[in-house]
Amino acid sequence: MLISGVIVGFLIFSGISFIFTSLTQPSTATVKPEYIEFEFLYTSEKQGWIERVTPDFEKWFKDEFDITVKVKLTVTGSHKTVNLILLGSAKPTAWSPASSLWIPYLNGKWTREGHEEPIAKDWTALATSPVVIAGWSSFLSKYNVTSFRDLYELSKKGVHFKYGHPDPLLSNGGAMVAVLEFAEALNKRPEDITVEDLKKPEAVEFVRTIESHAVAYGESTGFFGSWAAENGPDAIDVFGVYENVVIDNSLKAKKKWGDSIKAIYPQGGTLLSDHPYVILDAEWVSMWQRFAASQYLMYLLKPEVQRIAQEYGLRPANPSVPLDEELFSEENGVQPRVDTPVLNPPSGEVLEAIFVDWVKARNPGV
């Protein structure tokens, strides 16, 4: 599905490009402007990559179309981007949460507010990073941890361990970990979970058992990797984060502590932080902003730009770009190929219910 989405995105936006670049006698309504500015509301996981390549896009756009373009970059958390759009505090042309998990969540809230049509209709992945169970290699090997259920079983056996992940109410990474925990509890794929399922007390009990070992929450997945690498195995044993957090910290940890941080791809499946790019179907988006945003998407999917994304630990979404297996390697604590099913996110309604249940299950002392 992901590869198909990228290819469809290329075809759609290539078509838009052809239409606009072939306008030789534009009408008054389509007179070429001298300047276009549009806001791109996106998340911090890809901030380094986006900030690096956007000036080059602006130059490319000027050379290609003889129009000055300014991309206003606004960075914040996935959940907060939804709230900003709903409140009207931000009116971006393009929106990219860290995961497509948030698309049905936004659309559900948008239509419940009285809008007839969804605001986020079509999307294309910019890059991907799977959610993993990260931990010290010695700990993961000793207890043969392969899933969140293994952590539950360890707890039931009385094994003490220190656990963590970002707060699902503040972080996309935390929300994805919570979804996977509840999916394991119910023995269901996230997309098959219903609100009724989440009323089962055993689901909250399962998650509460794991969460009872939490020593930290917070807003960032990156915090856990750097915290572990800096403070060692006494600080935390295992944590739920993005794969790129392991890449960033595995070798640092081994150099300092003689033990590396390793990624486990949950046996039952994982969710991809797929960084969807959405041009919003909103009244504040003009035709020329839509055009510039579509060109920006095509630029971000160019092979040379996708290769730069890998330098930031993000897997390329463009299927024509080969994976850098020197970076995505066991030496860096990860696997070149994700050897577990890639799951689809739940509905927006279910995600809201998971947030409510997670608050009941969280460690109140953290």
The pLDDT value recorded for residue 127 is: 98
Provide the residue range defining the domain that includes 88: 2-125+276-313
Measure the CA–CA gap between 331 and 125, rounded to whole angstroms: 27
- What are the backbone angles phi and psi of residue 4, rounded to the nearest 5°? -60, -40
Report whether pLDDT(306) > 90. Answer: yes
The pLDDT, as a whole number, for residue 14 is 40
Q: What is the pLDDT of residues 65-106, one digit of tens each?
A: 999 999 999 999 999 999 999 999 999 999 999 999 999 999
At 26-67, the pLDDT tens digits run 344 579 999 999 999 999 999 999 999 999 999 999 999 999
Q: Which of 12-21, 48-57, 166-175, 267-276 has the lowest mean pLDDT?
A: 12-21
Same structural domain for residues 14 and 58? yes
> Are 31 and 117 found together in one domain?
yes
**Confidence category of residue 7, pLDDT binned at 50, 70, 90:** very low
Query: Total structural domains in the chain?
Result: 2
**CATH number for the domain harbouring residue 162:** 3.40.190.10
Does 40 share its domain with 175? no
pLDDT tens per residue, range 253-302: 999 999 999 999 999 999 999 999 999 999 999 999 999 999 999 999 99
Q: Are residues 145 and 12 in the same domain?
A: no
| Same domain flag for 343 and 357 | yes
The pair of structure tokens assigned to 360 is 């009941």
Q: Is the pLDDT of residue 5 over 60?
A: no
One-letter amino acid at 33 equals P
159 — pLDDT class (breaks 50, 70, 90) = very high
Pair 58, 91: CB distance under 8 Å: no
**pLDDT greater than 80 at residue 22:** no
31 assigned to some structural domain: yes
Query: Do 354 and 235 share a structural domain?
Result: yes
The reported pLDDT for the residue numbered 220 is 87
Asked if residue 211 and residue 223 are part of one domain, the reply reads: yes
What per-residue confidence (pLDDT) applies to 219? 86
- Mean pLDDT for the stretch of residues 337-353: 95
Check whether residue 265 and residue 284 sit in a common domain: no
Task: Give dist(CA 277, CA 275) in Å, integer.
Answer: 6
pLDDT at position 218:
84
What integer is the mean pLDDT of 5-28? Answer: 40
Q: What is the mean pLDDT of residues 214-233?
A: 94
Q: Put the strands of the sheet holding 124-125 in their side by side order.
A: 68-75, 35-42, 94-96, 276-279, 124-125
Burial of 117 (0-12, 13-18, 19+ CB in 10 A): exposed
Radius of gyration of the chain (CA): 21
Question: Quick one: pLDDT at residue 74?
Answer: 97
